[in-house]
Structures are given as C-alpha cells and as structure tokens.
C-alpha cells in the first residue's frame, strides 16, 4: 500500500467539493439509483475519488438491485479497511479507503459466491479507469 494521505478538513473541502466531501469525509450517502456507476458494465478499475487508491475491479462488480455499485470483493485486502458503524440506529460495517480513510460505503454478508459479501459503495466515492484495450 502507498503512504497514508493526510489533509486538513479545509483541504479536503476545497479539493472534493460539497457533495463528495459530505459523502467521503462526513460519512454521508448518495440516494439509491442516482450515482454514475451503479448500472455501469464497463471494464476497468474503480479508484478512490479522494486519493486514487485502487479499490475494486469491474470483474467483481454485480447488480445487487440496491441502487449502488456493488462488488463481492476489493482488489486486495490492503485496499480497504472496515470498522463497526452504529449510526442511524443500525449495526453495519463501514468500508473505508485504506490510504486516505475516505468513507466509501458499507459491506453486508448477503452477497454472491465466492465471498458471500456485498460491498455497497457510493458512486461519488469512486473514479473509474477503463481498460485500455
């Protein structure tokens, strides 16, 4: 993994803009079926919109029917970290970028084989890099 990215809240605000800052730095969410990538079938890599860290491959993306991009595993175990999220009266597992600690979304134990996991990720937290073929 690359070196940790650290910026002040003011720097993040300036770099990300209001909506991306709200989701990625203040642990917000975008409305379902509104994000740029939820229905995308393009081949490539999804990177962290805050720091460029490679997070997910389109090879593990699937349609979960939830309205957010869903993946059954990250590119590597070092790409993301998780922590318990007890906000909004729920018990969930938050997914964070391991390089800059951006809030990406949540992971649930109701995904497809082989992992049985559903990484439910906000489109606005991602930047897509298509395959160069």
Instruction: Tell me if residue 120 is catalytic.
Output: yes
- Taking CA atoms, 73 is separated from 26, 38, 103, 110, 133, in Å, by 24, 16, 16, 12, 24
Q: Determine which one of 48, 51, 97, 120 is catalytic.
A: 120
SS3 125: helix
Report d(CA 19, CA 9) in Å as an integer: 14
Q: Which two tokens mark 48?
A: 């962290």
H helices, E strands: number in the chain: 2, 9
Which residues are catalytically annotated?
A: 120
């Amino acid at each position: 993994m690359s070196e940790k990215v650290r910026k002040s809240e003011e720097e993040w605000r300036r770099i990300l803009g209001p909506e991306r800052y709200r989701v990625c730095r203040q642990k917000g969410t975008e409305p379902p079926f509104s994000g740029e990538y939820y229905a995308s079938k393009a081949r490539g890599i999804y990177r962290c919109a805050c720091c460029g860290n490679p997070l997910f491959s389109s090879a593990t993306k699937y349609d979960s029917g939830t309205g957010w991009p869903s993946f059954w595993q990250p590119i590597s175990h070092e790409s993301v970290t998780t922590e318990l999220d007890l906000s909004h009266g729920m018990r969930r597992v938050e997914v964070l970028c391991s390089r800059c600690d951006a809030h990406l979304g949540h992971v649930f134990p109701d995904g497809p084989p082989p992992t049985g996991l559903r990484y439910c990720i906000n489109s606005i937290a991602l930047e897509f890099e298509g395959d160069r073929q």
